[in-house]
Amino acid sequence: MTHAVDPPTPQLDAVCGHRGRKRVFFVVATIAMATLIIDVGTKELVRQSMSLHQRIEVIPGLLNLHFIKNPGAAFGLGDTWPEAVRYPFFLIVFAVAAWVLFSFYQRCRPHQTWLKISLGLVAGGAVGNFADRIVHRKVTDFIDIYYGSYHWPFFNAADIAITVGVAILFIHLWFFEEEKRGEVERGNPILSQQTPESS
């Protein structure tokens, strides 16, 4: 006969604990704040030192600093949409993104370093672009990568943070989810002590 396994939720919470939650919050918040400061600082530097549509060649044939104001989202998404559609859409996207990030944050454990880095980068970048949109009505973009006549859509430090953070999150989910479950089970006294028995 096989013994039933009790729901693991209380034990999973015990694995993390109050001190563990504080460590997770500290790391995520620190990375998010650093990302936000870098994003806001670079945008303000561009606005103060460059005129709109000014271009400065950094690496010939590859990289320019080019100051534009983007009414759309990352990499120019939605920049041609009417404002009556664009702003409600971005508010909904921001709310959904915040809910998803909070969900991952609730599941994050102190040993999951890459997940903490991912959440901090995405949160800081999302807040940076959202704040820019609220304060300036448009997002300041200034990085122009190109080759020949092809130009990648303009972007900024927040876009980089979001892109890197999402990439890390996918890698974590793809490669480390099984490892995480194994570590949680080994730390769960019920799951580690109960084994199927037959009679």
Known catalytic residues are: 141, 159
Q: What is the DSSP string of 143-190?
A: EEEEETTEEPPPB-HHHHHHHHHHHHHHHIIIIIHHHHHHHHHHH-HH
* 86 residue type, one letter: R
* DSSP letter, residue 73: S
Eight-class DSSP state of 74? G
Spell 102-113 as b/e; 16+ CB within 10 A means b: eebbeebbbbbe
d(CA 95, CA 72): 17
As a 3-state breakdown, the chain gives helix, strand, coil percent values, each rounded to 5, of 65, 15, 25
Per-residue tokens: 165 = 């953070």
Among positive and negative, which fits the CA dihedral 37, 38, 43, 48?
Answer: positive
Beta bridge partners of 68: 141
